[in-house]
Structure 1
Amino acid sequence: MNHPKDETYTQAHTDFSQDLSYGDYLMLDQVLSAQRTLTPAHDEMLFIVIHQVQELWMKLIVHELSSAMGLLKQGIVDPALKMLTRVCRAQEQMAASWEVLKTMTPSDYLQFRASFGRASGFQSHQYRLIEFLFGNKQPFMMRPHQHRPEHHRLLEQALQAPSLYDISLHLVAARGLEIPQAVLQRDFSQPYQPHERVRAAWLEVYRHPEQHWDLYYLAEKLVDVEDNFRRWRFNHLTTVERIIGHKQGTGGTAGVPYLKRALDIVLFPELWQVRTDL
């Protein structure tokens, strides 16, 4: 019995001898050959894929975050907000990926954990770069990257430059709200310290959103970014505790206690404080 041709796909292009194919464009041969396990353990593939996917999302976050910061420096808010929204969606994907990793049991992990020695997510230069761009500036955290000058140089630049929050405060000041010069001209290589007058400026924005709509929207987007960052950290913590308990991390950190301390870090403090004042 002859079936009529389905023209919904028979017209599709199928000869890629002279054209760029989907796999070629995405360089899938290279991407899909990058999962090189060191042991016969079944779950090592899961472990590698999850962390590689996280690094890809981080690459996108750095791309979007850097572009958004560049626009905010110029006082251009709306396109920057779109980019920060994309950062939030990528953060959500990263947080959700821990749920897949949680299907690995402690016994599964022990079958291959010793194979990668002292390698640890603590050493991710992209994660550290994102932290620096967000404003969690800790020069000590650059030490694991000394053996890779290109990574160390990138982190050094981010360490010395204004963070996303610093740039936002410059924008607030440019709109006529009072931000102290001590805040605007501070040493950007150091963690940000909250200031009462910055809190007062954000309070003005929140009390009169119709007069400061784009700053108001920016403030809420920053809260979204930090909220998602906290969720990623919390999901990471619970995943680690579920799989290795309170063992020391492979990179030499205290493991769960180290991750718990990280949960206490506040990136944009006045944006959280102002909610009490309203």
Structure 2
Amino acid sequence: MKKELKRGEGPSAVEEWFIQFLARPHDDLGREGAVCPFVAPAMRANTISVERASYAPEKGWLGIAELMRRQMDSYLARSWPEGKAPISALVTALDGMPEHQLPLLDEAQRQVKGEAVRRGLMIGQFHPGCPEPSVWNSSFLVSRSPLPLFALRRMALHDILFLHADPAHFAEYDRRFGYHYGRNRSAVHLPRHFVDLYKAARENAGKRTEYVTYQSIDVLLSLQQPHTHYPAEMTFYLVGQVKELLFKLVYEEVSAARLALVADVPDEASWNLRRAATGLKMLTRSWDVLAQISPAEFNAFRAQLGSASGIDSYMYRMLEFTLGRKSEAMARRYAGVPGVSEAIYRVLHRSSVYDEALGLLRRRGLLDVGDGNEASEAARAAWTRIYRNDGPASELFRLAEALMDVAHEFSRWRALHQLLVERTIGNKPGTGGTSGVDWLRRSSEHRFFAELWEARSALAAGVPPW
């Protein structure tokens, strides 16, 4: 059910947000001008249509995605004042969306963005906790609004800022705006940053067969470029890339589990967490391959690493942040890295999978809200109660064990990492500036989901009641 917000009925919260935030400059934006240069002229031309729609919690992000697709059809079918279609927009505010389910709006936008781009549209999501950073300043969360909504508009020349990194998205942009960058055309009048992004995206574009395209095999197999001819370096190089792919696999599964918890379906989350734990087991086996590189073989090419270190793996860092171990200091290591800093800061500022697990326990009446040590004690008591009273037939028991599977496998991975480094380089400093084995030993002592581990100590001996 949709209802248009008529102008003249008094300023809505959305319109106030337009005027007080989007249409004004902001010190943290990272560039001059309004937060959104589009808003002020569109409001003057009366080409922003704001509607309300009811959120359907039983449909989750899939329902929001369906609504987005309908609104795309509606937007493209509308008539706008002559010559003003390029600055038109359709904004849809979602009524009745619980705060803890706002991440589902982020997921719906991610799923639908490609469809919108193929139709020449841009779609953005906004809500009070939106983790989207400014393209000019990764630490500025530019997409936070007073209520959940999404906005549709036509693709514009400046959207190279948002579409250059994805080949499919860039191809659609290039088809519509590529002529602006042609020789003897207006490229000389474009911002230098636009031209640089465009050229880089063009260089990455290429034609491939259907099979190769599906898995990007040619790209994948072209990325192994060791710096020496020592055979062991290729093994080291390939295992490093395999680990990055597995970090991404585990990250995607844990992220899916987080969304399932937001949607109040813990068994679905447990299923994703089980796959994540299996991915971590594969990561653990990767140390077995590297253990077959002798210290002499590793020393033959180690100098070529320079300061390169796994400590700067941003997929690993995104996985750590998503599991709940967050660090502003670690996030700052990626400041200014195009396409990476934005992703890092987004994950840093959003809830973790453990946050959402505790949120589920609160909604089930098993956890009292508290702060600091009080909150930790309450969480430990809640997990203890689940272990004491419930069994495998309980979805919360299964969730607890799935979370522990992930925490357990992650700790095994860290412990074996420490052993491998000690076996290979002894007590030499790490390439990333760490103390090496000592640093890894301290890191391996950390446990994700600490209260779940502590709950074991609170369980008495005896046969469980279930």
Structure 1 length-normalised TM:
0.86
1:108 equivalent in structure 2: 297
- Shift in Å at residue 245 of structure 1? 0.7
The structure whose residues are more often strand, as a share, is 2
Structure 1 residues 211 and 46: alpha-carbon distance in aligned structure 2, compared to 1, 3 A threshold: closer
For the residues of structure 2 that align with 1:181 and 1:271, how far apart are their CA atoms?
A: 17
Matched, 1:265 2:454: no
- CA shift, 1:26, in A, is 1.6
Letter matched to residue 229 of structure 1: F
Instruction: Compute the displacement of 1:65 (Å).
Output: 1.2
- 1:244 correspondence with 2:425: yes
Q: Are 2:270 and 2:403, in contact at CA under 8 Å, matched by a contact in 1?
A: no
Superimposed CA distance per residue, residues 141-191 of structure 1 (whole angstroms, 9 cap, x where no aligned partner): 1232123142122221222222111110010011111332437xxxxxxxx
The answer to whether the 8 A contact 2:309-2:431 is kept is yes
The CA distance in 1 between the partners of 2:220 and 2:368, in whole Å, is 47
Distance 1:72 1:231 in 2: 25
- What 5-or-longer segments of structure 2 have no aligned partner? 1-207, 460-466
Q: Is the 8 A contact 2:331 2:348 kept in 1?
A: no
**1:106-146: CA deviations, max 9, x gaps?**
11011111112111100000101111111111211123212
| 1:27 counterpart (213, 216, 225) | 216
Aligned equivalent of 2:240, options 40, 44, 51: 51
CA distance in 2, matches of 1:225, 1:180: 25
Measured after TM superposition, the shift of residue 69 of structure 1 is: 0.4
Match of 1:66 in 2: 255
Preserved CA contact (<8 Å) 1:180 1:198: no
Tell me which of 313, 327, 339 is aligned to 1:150.
339
* SS at structure 2 position matched to 1:112: helix
How large is the RMSD of aligned CA atoms in angstroms?
2.0
1:163-182 pair list within 5 angstroms: 163-182=352-371
**Cα drift, residue 212 of structure 1:** 8.1
Q: How much has 1:77 moved relative to structure 2?
A: 1.4
Contact 2:386–2:397, Cα closer than 8 Å, also in 1 = yes
Find 2:316's aligned residue among 124, 127, 131: 127
Tell me: CA distance 1:275–1:147, structure 2 relative to 1, closer, same or farther (3 Å). same
User: Mean Cα displacement is larger for which, 26-35 or 254-263?
Assistant: 26-35
The answer (yes or no) to whether the contact 1:165–1:268 under 8 Å persists in 2 is: yes
CA, structure 1 residues 96+274, in 2 after alignment: closer, same or farther (shift >3 Å)? same
In structure 1, C-alpha distance between the alignment counterparts of 2:263 and 2:300, rounded to whole Å: 52
Task: Write the distance in 1 (CA, Å) between the matches of 2:234 and 2:436.
Answer: 22
Distance 1:101 1:250 in 2: 17
Unaligned runs of 5+ in 1: 1-17, 184-191
Aligned AA (1:204) = R
CA contact (8 A) 1:106 1:243 kept: yes
Aligned partners of 1:74, 1:275: CA distance in 2, in Å?
28
* 1:256 paired to 2:455: no
Distance 1:198 1:89, change over 3 A: same
Aligned to 1:4: none
Deviation per CA, 1:183-234, whole angstroms, max 9, x where unpaired?
A: 7xxxxxxxx9962122111121111115981111101111110000001101
- Answer yes or no: is the 8 Å Cα contact 1:95–1:235 preserved in 2: yes
Moved more, 45-54 or 150-159: 150-159
Alpha carbons of structure 1 residues 94 and 258: separation in structure 2 relative to 1, 3 Å: same
State the alpha-carbon separation in 1 of the partners of residues 365 and 213 from structure 2. 51
C-alpha separation in 2, matches of 1:30 and 1:168: 38
Read off the aligned partner of 1:232 and give its amino acid letter.
W
Q: Aligned AA for 1:43?
A: A
Secondary structure class of the residue paired with 1:39:
coil
Q: Is the 8 A contact 2:224 2:237 kept in 1?
A: yes
Aligned residues: 252
Q: Which amino acid aligns with 1:57?
A: L
Write the letter of the residue equivalent to 1:26: Q
Name the larger-Rg structure.
2
1:94 aligns with 2:283: yes
Choose between structure 1 and 2 for higher RCO, CA contacts under 8 A separated by at least 6 residues.
1
| 1:217-269 C-alpha deviation (Å, 9 max, x unpaired) | 10111111000000110111111111111111111111111100001212211
- 2:285 and 2:240 map into 1 onto residues whose CA distance is 12
> Is the 2:270–2:402 contact (alpha carbons within 8 Å) kept by the matching residues of 1?
yes
Query: Which amino acid is the alignment partner of residue 148 of structure 1?
Result: V
> 2: distance between equivalents of 1:241 and 1:248?
11
Q: Does the CA contact (< 8 Å) of 1:194 and 1:269 recur in 2?
A: no
Amino acid at match of 2:402: K
Which position in structure 1 is the counterpart of 2:416?
235
Contact 1:88 1:228 in 2 (8 A): yes
Distance 1:39 1:126 in 2: 26
